[in-house]
């Protein structure tokens, strides 16, 4: 497989601040990669380093087989969609779209044809002569996308392109961007703080924190096998529950450290007598039948959307349970919960790393 | 060579060129004169030694001479009166006007802006107009003051040593009021309206709202404006040239006019430089106060 | 009281205040139109009985105002051109970054801005005479004004550049521009209005400049209108109608520009002075 973008041991410092720490990342041609993490995690810095808007302090950055470390943005042949769209306010939509072509010396007739072609794809055909201030938020977003598409670049860079849209439009554009990507056979790098966007759009998700790549892989791999507690808590919504626990000496049961310790038998092999963090997603908890194994919790609140019922427990730490359909549970009751051993993620209490 | 060129088209070199050239210019035409001034204040500089840099070194004699001269004390006192009088007048009138125009009515902002003509006019023209208005026998101000019964006989504003400085102060207040008003109006409009609504709900009347909301919220703006006023009044030169020429008998002379007078009328450049050095220290002090009072805005 | 009546009352009140404030300006125009005897009448008339328009032609001719105004224009244009050339790029860089060097640069700019011309003229005059620059007195004045006014221009234009989003420039870089290209094609056009207004303000200041011209230009052929006005006003002059006619012809162009662009000038000024 050929790699369109390759980063090895990339570091970035702002003075004494270490913004990117030993980043290794390979992006295959034609893939859609999402960089996701909380704000300040370095995802935008990484994207801007790819674009050439930031210079990396050390390491190698290779785009389409060429080392690009000190190369200015204009010679990298990448297109970028900015969070604010960055449409040139003094140019019409058509001029915005064809600006890069103009700079690269493409003839006027050809530029016009290219703009018409792209506008037909993105549905901007009747807006070409408007100015950005005359467009709605969604239309501006399309112009920003089109301006990138027209270039036919080595890769597309997206910097939180949907965060200025309302929720409904965001869901719609998610699909549209992914469809465009597939249709153009492009390589895309997409920065977002929204893990749902990352999970639904990308082939490959890179989770970052404090300038470090915590984990990267296919979306469902990250969901199923998070390598540490941070990734586990970041991916999935509502977030995973974490309960401090200890394994019994025989390694066949867990003692959950809720208000009062509760022992739950465990059907998978456990390391004996060890301090653990038990991670379990809300959707993997179920109400236990009268005779099944489980643990008792008080109910603090019950919320329902109709399709799903969320139960928040009165324990410390608080546990969230997501039940399909409706449940006859009321706040103040005591219920018993259970889970399947295969759905449980175990993390070391000291290091927060996943235990096999 | 190629690397230097590509840095100028694509990298930091571009910024360095853009900022380096003007700063070199400023350092050469403002920084160097500043240092040269200090050097000259320790030298004897007259028409004959004008051409050479190496001149008789006199140590602190220029400074000592100045402070033994009889007019020095009165000129320094005039400077203080001029600065305090001008700033007080400009600020109070400016604030009153700003508060009035703060009430929103159609045409308010346009009319308010019109006041600024006093500020864009050449100082010498303002001086000429006020010279004529303040004229003793035929001045319109004397006429108006007598008509309204405020005084019984004409004041010879420009030639009476008791009034000559105030004649310039009056013109300077007129000149600077509009600038004060515009900046104060900007400060006023930056106070969020809901603060006043909250204060009103809490039972504060208009007077109390002014003292408990407006003034405290305007503190940094007021500090900046007073410092700017200090800077501008110490720069004022044209009005003196056009109205009193520092006279009669130095009764309306101030330090910045005196410095020029020593150099260009008495050809004692050494003393002119000495006054300039002393005044420059004051001006820079005022500038530092200004920076401090706007610092949160300067750094965002 | 209805909203409408209140507004009308306030408007009337503010017009009265403006009239009082702008009375000196009115007095200049009225005096210029009065005859020699009417000017000294007691009580003074507030409207000229017969407007003496010929005074303007007489003053224009006898004081050689065409030459003075030409010199003022040359000096002002020279200074504005130099300031705009040097100051625009400087303002852009100081707006684009935030770090300790920019803070130091801004502080220096401010310090250069506050130095009074009447204090700086002594060393500038001596230095220029040693360099032989006083042989070209108008150039010398242009250089001195540039050093004095460029900082103010930089402060005003910097505020304009701050309002241009950084992403636009970055988008231009990614689209294939060099730094120079992005600056010229994207940033400069978007800041054009602010730069223009600041340049006009600087022009108005330079047009009325007095200290440097008075001190450095000895040749009457090269003196600007401010120096001409100064020599017109002898200590015991009685030609006030002529002087006011001179002043009228001198400031009316400036006032016209100001009234036309008032809104922009005021907003440009306030955004720069307090930020």
- Report the pLDDT value the prediction gives residue C39, as an integer from 0 to 100: 84
Domain count, chain A: 2
Do residues A189 and A73 both lie within one domain?
Answer: yes
- CA distance to partner chain A, nearest, from residue B7 (Å): 10
Question: Alpha-carbon torsion C99, C103, C106, C108, what sign?
Answer: negative
Residues of B (10-49) whose Cβ lies below 8 Å from A: 10-11
- CA distance to partner chain B, nearest, from residue A188 (Å): 25
Which CATH number is A324's domain given? 2.40.50.140
Do residues A43 and A82 both lie within one domain?
Answer: yes
Beta-bridged to residue C11, according to DSSP, are none
Q: Using an 8 Å CB-CB cutoff, list chain B residues near A51.
A: none
Is residue C59 a part of any domain in this protein? no
Pairing, β A155-159 against β A78-81 = parallel
Task: Quote the tokens at residue A285.
Answer: 């908890």
Cα nearest neighbour of C168 on chain A: A86
Do residues A52 and A164 both lie within one domain?
Answer: yes
Runs of H (alpha helix) within chain C = 3-21, 23-33, 36-39, 54-62, 65-96, 100-114, 117-131, 137-162, 166-174, 179-182, 188-207, 211-216, 225-232, 240-260, 262-273
- Select from A53, A84, A100 the Cβ nearest to the Cβ of C175: A100
Report the run of H or E that residue A188 belongs to, with start and end: strand A188-192
Pairing, β A155-159 against β A17-28 = unpaired
Inter-chain residue contact C235 with B283, CB threshold 8 Å? no
Instruction: State the SS3 of C58-77.
Output: HHHHHCCHHHHHHHHHHHHH
Model pTM score: 0.86
Domain count, chain C: 2
Do residues A279 and A185 both lie within one domain?
Answer: no
Split at pLDDT 50, 70, 90, the class of B1 is low
Which CATH number is A73's domain given? 3.40.50.300
Q: Is the pLDDT of residue B142 over 80?
A: yes
Domains of chain B: 60-298 (1.10.3720.10)
Is residue C233 a part of any domain in this protein? yes
Task: Quote the tokens at residue C147.
Answer: 């050093």
Task: Quote the tokens at residue A196.
Answer: 């749902």
**Per-residue model confidence as pLDDT tens digits over A274-287:** 889 999 999 999 99
Q: Is the Cβ of C166 closer than 8 Å to some Cβ of chain B?
A: no
Split at pLDDT 50, 70, 90, the class of A57 is very high
CB C150 within 8 A of CB B26: yes
To the nearest 5 percent, what fractions of chain B are helix, strand and coil? 75, 0, 25
Is residue C60 a part of any domain in this protein? no
Task: Quote the tokens at residue A324.
Answer: 């399909």
Q: Specify the range with the lowest mean pLDDT, choosing from A173-187, A305-319, B46-60.
A: B46-60
Inter-chain residue contact C165 with A74, CB threshold 8 Å? no
* Phi, psi at C70, each rounded to 5°: -60, -45
How far separated are the first and last CA of chain C, in Å rounded? 40
- CA distance to partner chain C, nearest, from residue A190 (Å): 16
Q: Using an 8 Å CB-CB cutoff, list chain A residues near C177.
A: 74, 103
Pairing, β A295-304 against β A320-324 = unpaired
Q: Averaged over A92-99, what is the pLDDT? A: 93
* Phi, psi at A3, each rounded to 5°: -100, 130
Contacts of A60 (CB under 8 A, 6+ apart): A6, A7, A8, A9, A10, A67, A69
Q: Which chains touch C (3+ CB pairs under 8 A)?
A: A, B
To the nearest 5 percent, what fractions of chain A are helix, strand and coil? 30, 35, 40
Inter-chain residue contact B40 with C42, CB threshold 8 Å? no
Closest CA to A22 of A35, A10, A40: A10
Do residues C106 and C192 both lie within one domain?
Answer: yes
Question: Alpha-carbon torsion A122, A125, A131, A134, what sign?
Answer: negative
Split at pLDDT 50, 70, 90, the class of A30 is very high
Report the run of H or E that residue A337 belongs to, with start and end: strand A334-338
Cα nearest neighbour of B220 on chain C: C274
Look at B190 and B236; give whichever has higher pLDDT.
Answer: B236
Do residues C70 and C119 both lie within one domain?
Answer: yes
- CA distance to partner chain C, nearest, from residue A7 (Å): 19
Inter-chain residue contact C240 with B132, CB threshold 8 Å? yes
- CA distance to partner chain B, nearest, from residue C63 (Å): 16
Q: Is the pLDDT of residue B297 over 60?
A: no
Q: Using an 8 Å CB-CB cutoff, list chain A residues near B6.
A: 72
CB A209 within 8 A of CB A41: yes
Is residue A355 a part of any domain in this protein? no
Q: Using an 8 Å CB-CB cutoff, list chain A residues near B11.
A: 72
Split at pLDDT 50, 70, 90, the class of A130 is very high
- CA distance to partner chain C, nearest, from residue A183 (Å): 22
Cα nearest neighbour of A156 on chain C: C174
Q: Is the Cβ of C48 closer than 8 Å to some Cβ of chain B?
A: no
Contacts of C149 (CB under 8 A, 6+ apart): C79, C83, C202, C205, C206
**Per-residue model confidence as pLDDT tens digits over A64-85:** 989 999 889 998 999 999 999 9
Q: Using an 8 Å CB-CB cutoff, list chain A residues near C194.
A: none
Q: Most distant CA pair in chain C: distance in Å? A: 75
- Report the pLDDT value the prediction gives residue C40, as an integer from 0 to 100: 84
Report the run of H or E that residue A302 belongs to, with start and end: strand A295-304
Task: Quote the tokens at residue B62.
Answer: 């220029």
Q: Which residue has the tokens 């920019």?
A: C102
Cα distance between residue C274 and residue C267, in whole Å: 11
- pLDDT tens digits, chain C, 275 residues: what are they? 678 888 888 889 889 999 999 999 999 999 999 888 888 887 888 888 888 888 899 999 998 999 999 999 999 999 999 999 999 999 999 999 888 999 899 989 988 988 999 999 999 999 999 999 999 999 999 999 999 999 999 988 998 899 899 999 999 999 999 999 999 999 999 999 889 999 999 999 999 999 999 999 999 999 999 999 999 987 777 888 999 999 999 999 999 999 888 888 887 777 665 54
- The rounded mean pLDDT for chain B is 87
Q: Using an 8 Å CB-CB cutoff, list chain A residues near C181.
A: 103
Do residues C39 and C122 both lie within one domain?
Answer: no
Is residue A250 a part of any domain in this protein? yes
Q: Averaged over B199-209, what is the pLDDT? A: 85
Do residues C22 and C97 both lie within one domain?
Answer: no
Cα distance between residue A34 and residue A157, in whole Å: 10
Residue B283 CA, chain-centre distance (Å), reads: 9
Task: Quote the tokens at residue C20.
Answer: 């009082």
- CA distance to partner chain A, nearest, from residue C93 (Å): 16
Q: Using an 8 Å CB-CB cutoff, list chain C residues near B101.
A: 14
Cα nearest neighbour of C204 on chain B: B120
Q: Is the pLDDT of residue B50 over 80?
A: no
Helix B32-41 × helix B269-293 angle, to 10° = 130
Split at pLDDT 50, 70, 90, the class of A356 is low
Q: Is the Cβ of C201 closer than 8 Å to some Cβ of chain B?
A: yes
Question: Which CA distances in Å does A200 have to A172, B164, B200, C225?
Answer: 12, 81, 51, 73
Q: Averaged over B242-262, what is the pLDDT? A: 90
Question: Alpha-carbon torsion B25, B27, B31, B36, what sign?
Answer: negative
The ipTM (two decimal places) reads 0.90
Q: Using an 8 Å CB-CB cutoff, list chain B residues near C217.
A: none
Inter-chain residue contact B280 with C119, CB threshold 8 Å? yes
Task: Quote the tokens at residue A40.
Answer: 């300040």
Do residues C69 and C32 both lie within one domain?
Answer: no
Do residues C30 and C158 both lie within one domain?
Answer: no
Do residues C256 and C185 both lie within one domain?
Answer: yes
The 10 Å Cβ neighbour count of residue B24 is 12
Is residue A356 a part of any domain in this protein? no
Question: What one-character-per-residue DSSP string does A78-133 give?
Answer: EEEE-TT----TTS-HHHHHHHHHHHTT--HHHHHHHHHHHHHHHT-GGGTTS-GG
Question: Which CA distances in Å does B123 have to B48, B119, B238, B300?
Answer: 33, 8, 5, 34
Inter-chain residue contact A74 with C173, CB threshold 8 Å? yes
- Report the pLDDT value the prediction gives residue B299, as an integer from 0 to 100: 35
Residues of C (155-214) whose Cβ lies below 8 Å from A: 165, 167-168, 170-179, 181, 186, 189-190
Q: Using an 8 Å CB-CB cutoff, list chain B residues near A72.
A: 6, 9-11
Domain that holds residue A75: 3-234
SS3 A191: strand
Task: Quote the tokens at residue C203.
Answer: 């022009």
Q: Specify the range with the lowest mean pLDDT, choosing from A87-101, B51-65, B129-143.
A: B51-65
- Which of A72, A73, A74 best tests the B interface by mutation, with the highest count of B CBs <10 A? A72
Give residue ranges of A with CB < 8 Å to any B CB: 72, 74
Is residue A353 a part of any domain in this protein? no
Inter-chain residue contact C243 with B263, CB threshold 8 Å? no
Residues of C (111-130) whose Cβ lies below 8 Å from B: 111-127, 129-130
Do residues A210 and A340 both lie within one domain?
Answer: no
Q: Averaged over A110-136, what is the pLDDT? A: 93
- Report the pLDDT value the prediction gives residue B295, as an integer from 0 to 100: 61
Q: Is the pLDDT of residue A161 over 60?
A: yes
- Report the pLDDT value the prediction gives residue A266, as an integer from 0 to 100: 81
Task: Quote the tokens at residue B15.
Answer: 């910024």
Do residues C87 and C152 both lie within one domain?
Answer: yes
Question: Which CA distances in Å does B248 have to B156, B253, B261, C96?
Answer: 11, 9, 14, 52
Using the 3D structure, point to which of A218, A234, A250 is the last residue of a domain.
Answer: A234
Inter-chain residue contact B117 with C265, CB threshold 8 Å? no
Tally of CA atoms within 13 A in the half-sphere of A168 that contains its CB = 0
Task: Quote the tokens at residue A269.
Answer: 């092999």
- Select from A84, A103, A151 the Cβ nearest to the Cβ of C177: A103
Look at A206 and A249; give whichever has higher pLDDT.
Answer: A206
Do residues A89 and A146 both lie within one domain?
Answer: yes
Q: Is the pLDDT of residue B140 over 60?
A: yes
Q: Which chains touch B (3+ CB pairs under 8 A)?
A: A, C
Task: Quote the tokens at residue A232.
Answer: 């586990």
Q: Is the pLDDT of residue A1 over 70?
A: no
Q: Using an 8 Å CB-CB cutoff, list chain A residues near B9.
A: 72
- Phi-psi label, residue B249: left if phi above 0, alpha if psi -120 to 50, beta otherwise: left
Split at pLDDT 50, 70, 90, the class of A157 is very high
- Which of B10, B12, B15 best tests the A interface by mutation, with the highest count of A CBs <10 A? B10
- Which of C123, C174, C243 best tests the B interface by mutation, with the highest count of B CBs <10 A? C123
Do residues C84 and C206 both lie within one domain?
Answer: yes
Cα distance between residue A118 and residue C214, in whole Å: 64
Pairing, β A320-324 against β A308-313 = antiparallel
Do residues A81 and A166 both lie within one domain?
Answer: yes
Q: Using an 8 Å CB-CB cutoff, list chain B residues near C150.
A: 22, 25-26
Split at pLDDT 50, 70, 90, the class of B298 is very low
Using the 3D structure, point to which of A188, A211, A234 is the last residue of a domain.
Answer: A234
Cα nearest neighbour of A105 on chain C: C176
Q: Is the pLDDT of residue B53 over 80?
A: no
**Per-residue model confidence as pLDDT tens digits over A225-276:** 999 999 999 999 899 999 999 888 888 888 888 878 888 888 777 888 888 9
Inter-chain residue contact C179 with B9, CB threshold 8 Å? yes
- CA distance to partner chain B, nearest, from residue A54 (Å): 11
Cα distance between residue C261 and residue C267, in whole Å: 10
- Report the pLDDT value the prediction gives residue C248, as an integer from 0 to 100: 94
Inter-chain residue contact C175 with A147, CB threshold 8 Å? yes
Q: Averaged over B107-136, what is the pLDDT? A: 89
Domain that holds residue C214: 65-273
Cα nearest neighbour of C83 on chain B: B22
Cα distance between residue A259 and residue A116, in whole Å: 66
Contacts of A12 (CB under 8 A, 6+ apart): A18, A19, A20, A42, A45, A49, A54, A56, A57, A211
Is residue A66 a part of any domain in this protein? yes
Do residues C142 and C44 both lie within one domain?
Answer: no
Which CATH number is C228's domain given? 1.10.3720.10
- Report the pLDDT value the prediction gives residue B300, as an integer from 0 to 100: 31
Q: Is the Cβ of C28 closer than 8 Å to some Cβ of chain B?
A: yes
CB C223 within 8 A of CB C73: no
């Amino acid at each position: 497989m050929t790699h369109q973008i390759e980063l090895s041991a990339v570091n970035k410092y702002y003075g004494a601040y270490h913004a990117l720490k030993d980043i290794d990342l390979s992006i295959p041609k034609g893939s859609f990669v999402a960089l996701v993490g909380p704000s300040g995690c370095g995802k935008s810095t990484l994207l801007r380093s790819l674009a050439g808007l930031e210079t990396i302090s050390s390491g190698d950055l290779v785009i389409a087989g060429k080392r690009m470390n000190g190369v200015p943005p204009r010679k990298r042949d990448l297109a970028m969609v900015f969070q604010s769209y960055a449409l040139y306010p003094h140019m019409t939509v058509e001029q915005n779209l064809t600006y890069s072509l103009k700079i690269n010396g493409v003839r006027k007739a050809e530029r016009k044809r290219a703009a018409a072609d792209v506008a037909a794809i993105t549905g901007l055909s009747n807006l070409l002569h408007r100015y950005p201030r005359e467009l709605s938020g969604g239309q501006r977003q399309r112009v920003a996308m089109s301006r990138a598409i027209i270039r036919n670049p080595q890769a597309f860079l997206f910097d939180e392109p949907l965060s200025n849209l309302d929720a409904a439009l965001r869901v719609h554009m998610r699909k549209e961007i992914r469809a465009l990507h597939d249709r153009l056979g492009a390589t895309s790098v997409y920065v977002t703080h929204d893990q749902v966007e990352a999970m639904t759009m990308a082939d490959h998700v890179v989770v970052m924190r404090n300038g470090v790549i915590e984990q990267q892989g296919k979306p469902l791999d990250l969901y199923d096998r998070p390598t540490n507690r941070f990734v586990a808590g970041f991916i999935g919504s509502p977030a995973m529950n974490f309960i401090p626990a200890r394994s019994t000496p025989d390694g066949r049961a867990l003692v959950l450290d809720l208000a009062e310790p509760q022992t739950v038998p465990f059907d998978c092999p456990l390391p004996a007598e060890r301090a653990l963090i038990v991670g379990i997603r809300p959707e993997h908890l179920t109400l236990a039948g009268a005779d099944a194994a489980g643990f008792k919790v008080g109910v603090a609140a019950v919320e329902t959307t109709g399709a799903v019922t969320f139960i928040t427990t009165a324990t410390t730490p608080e546990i969230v349970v997501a039940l399909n359909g409706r449940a006859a549970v009321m706040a103040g009751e005591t219920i018993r919960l259970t889970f399947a051993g295969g759905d449980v993620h175990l993390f070391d209490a000291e290091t927060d790393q996943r235990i096999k | 060579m190629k690397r230097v060129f590509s840095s100028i088209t694509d990298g930091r070199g571009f910024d360095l060129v853009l900022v380096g050239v003007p700063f070199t210019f400023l350092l050469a035409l403002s920084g160097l004169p500043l240092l040269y001034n200090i050097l000259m204040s320790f030298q004897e500089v007259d028409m004959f030694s004008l051409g050479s840099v190496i001149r008789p070194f006199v140590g602190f004699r220029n400074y000592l001479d100045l402070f033994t001269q009889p007019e020095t004390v009165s000129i320094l006192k005039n400077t203080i009166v001029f600065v305090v009088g001008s700033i007080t007048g400009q600020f109070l009138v400016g604030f009153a006007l700003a508060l009035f125009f703060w009430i929103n009515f159609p045409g308010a902002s346009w009319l308010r802006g019109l006041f600024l003509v006093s500020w864009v006019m050449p100082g010498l023209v303002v001086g000429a107009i006020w010279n004529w208005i303040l004229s003793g026998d035929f001045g319109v101000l004397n006429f108006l003051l007598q008509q309204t019964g405020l005084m019984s006989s004409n004041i010879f504003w420009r030639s009476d040593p008791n009034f000559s400085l105030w004649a310039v102060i009056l013109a300077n207040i007129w000149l600077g009021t509009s600038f004060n008003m515009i900046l104060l109006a900007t400060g006023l409009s930056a106070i969020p309206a809901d603060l006043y609504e909250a204060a009103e709900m809490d039972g504060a009347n208009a007077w109390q709202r002014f003292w408990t909301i407006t003034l405290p919220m305007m503190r940094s703006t007021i500090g900046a404006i007073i410092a700017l006023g200090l800077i501008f009044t110490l720069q004022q030169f044209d009005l003196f040239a056009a109205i009193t020429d520092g006279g009669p008998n130095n009764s309306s002379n101030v330090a910045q006019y005196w410095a020029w007078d020593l150099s260009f009328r008495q050809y004692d450049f050494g003393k002119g430089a000495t006054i300039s050095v002393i005044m420059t220290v004051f001006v820079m002090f005022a500038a530092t106060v200004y920076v401090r009072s706007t610092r949160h805005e300067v750094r965002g | 009281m209805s909203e409408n009546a209140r507004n009308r009352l306030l408007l009337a009140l503010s017009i009265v205040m403006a009239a009082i404030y702008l009375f000196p300006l009115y007095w200049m125009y009225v005096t210029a139109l009065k005859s020699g005897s009417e000017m000294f009448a007691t009580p003074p008339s507030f409207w000229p009985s017969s407007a003496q328009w010929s005074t303007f032609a007489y003053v224009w001719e006898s004081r050689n105002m065409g030459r003075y105004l030409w010199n003022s224009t040359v000096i002002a244009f020279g200074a504005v051109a130099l300031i705009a050339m040097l100051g625009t790029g400087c303002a852009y860089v100081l707006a684009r970054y935030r770090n300790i060097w920019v803070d130091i640069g801004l502080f220096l700019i401010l310090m250069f801005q506050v130095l009074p011309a009447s204090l700086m003229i002594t060393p500038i005059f001596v230095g220029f005479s040693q360099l032989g620059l006083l042989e070209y007195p108008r150039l010398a004045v242009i250089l001195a004004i540039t050093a004095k006014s460029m900082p103010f221009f930089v402060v005003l234009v910097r505020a304009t550049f701050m309002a241009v989003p950084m992403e636009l420039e970055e988008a231009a870089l990614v689209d294939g521009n060099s730094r120079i290209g992005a600056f010229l094609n994207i940033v400069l056009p978007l800041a054009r209005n602010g730069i223009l207004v600041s340049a006009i303000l600087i022009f108005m200041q330079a047009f009325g400049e007095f200290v440097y011209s008075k001190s450095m230009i000895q040749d009457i052929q090269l003196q600007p209108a401010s120096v001409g006005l100064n020599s017109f006003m002898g200590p015991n002059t009685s030609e006030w109608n002529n002087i006011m006619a001179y002043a009228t012809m001198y400031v009316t162009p400036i006032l016209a520009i100001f009234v036309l662009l008032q809104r922009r000038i005021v907003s440009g000024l306030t955004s720069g002075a307090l930020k």
